[in-house]
């Protein structure tokens, strides 16, 4: 009888202790899982902090570059403003000098005496429509003019005017008149060694016709170069 009671007591104690042991094991397992998650989270936080630190370093470097670029741009703007100021001063000085030169040229021209005038026009076999090349007939007349000057040497000044008819735009005719005058100037310099500082060219384009532009003959007369020799 005593043996049966002892056996029953052992069984009851085992039944009571078994749940307690199971509960402690579960707790230990859960705690281990939580600790593992905490360790993983701590590692992730450290990695995140490291990346944040790297990003902050990159941002700092970008800020420094941006600041340097801004300073360079400001310096360039300052230099450009200074250069513009110098250019404006140079332009003003050049304009003033040009004005004085024009005044002197006007004064000198007013004191010069016209010796004679040579007109090279298409109705005389020179300067075809729309062309600026110096024809042979025009070269011959220029040669004759130079021969006269050599026969009576003196201090001369030559003015060359380029003219056109009214066919085409004003801008085109202005340029064509200048090209015709320049062709005569080039021939005087290259063929007869007339100093360039003694030659002045100007284009009047279609603005100074000598004949009506409503006829073929009139337009031919207006396509001309006038060479004025002054002493």
What is the architecture of the domain spanning 113-230? 2-Layer Sandwich (3.30)
What are the tens digits of pLDDT across the range 70-111? 777 778 777 777 777 776 776 676 556 555 545 555 555 566
Show the tokens assigned to 24.
Answer: 């402690």
Domain ranges of the chain: 48-111, 113-230
Contact 102, 207 (CB under 8 A): no
Regarding pTM above 0.75, the answer is: no
What are the tens digits of pLDDT across the range 180-208? 899 999 999 999 999 999 999 999 999 99
Which residues are CB-neighbours of 114 under 8 A, at least 6 positions away? 228, 229, 230
- The sheet with strand 199-205 has its strands ordered as 114-121, 224-230, 157-163, 199-205
pLDDT grade for 150, boundaries at 50, 70 and 90: confident
Distances (CA, A) of 192 to 48, 126, 159, 196: 89, 20, 16, 11
């Amino acid at each position: 009888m005593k043996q049966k009671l002892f056996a029953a007591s052992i069984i009851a104690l085992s039944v009571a202790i078994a749940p307690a042991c199971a509960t402690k094991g579960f707790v230990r397992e859960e705690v281990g899982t939580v600790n593992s998650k905490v360790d993983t989270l701590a590692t992730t936080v450290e990695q995140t902090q490291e990346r944040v630190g790297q990003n902050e370093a990159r941002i700092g470097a970008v800020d420094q570059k941006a600041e340097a670029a801004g300073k360079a741009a400001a310096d360039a703007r300052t230099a450009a403003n200074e250069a513009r100021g110098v250019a404006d001063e140079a332009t003003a000085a050049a304009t003033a000098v040009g004005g004085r030169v024009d005044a002197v040229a006007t004064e000198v021209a007013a004191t010069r005496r016209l010796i004679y005038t040579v007109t090279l026009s298409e109705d005389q076999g020179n300067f075809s429509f729309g062309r600026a090349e110096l024809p042979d007939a025009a070269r011959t007349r220029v040669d004759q003019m130079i021969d006269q000057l050599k026969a009576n040497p003196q201090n001369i000044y030559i003015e060359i005017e380029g003219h056109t008819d009214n066919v085409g735009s004003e801008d085109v005719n202005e340029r064509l008149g200048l090209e015709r005058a320049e062709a005569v100037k080039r021939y005087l310099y290259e063929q007869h060694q007339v100093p360039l500082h003694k030659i002045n060219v100007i284009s009047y384009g279609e603005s100074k016709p000598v004949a009506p532009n409503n006829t073929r003959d009139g337009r031919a007369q207006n396509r001309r170069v006038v060479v004025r020799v002054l002493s």
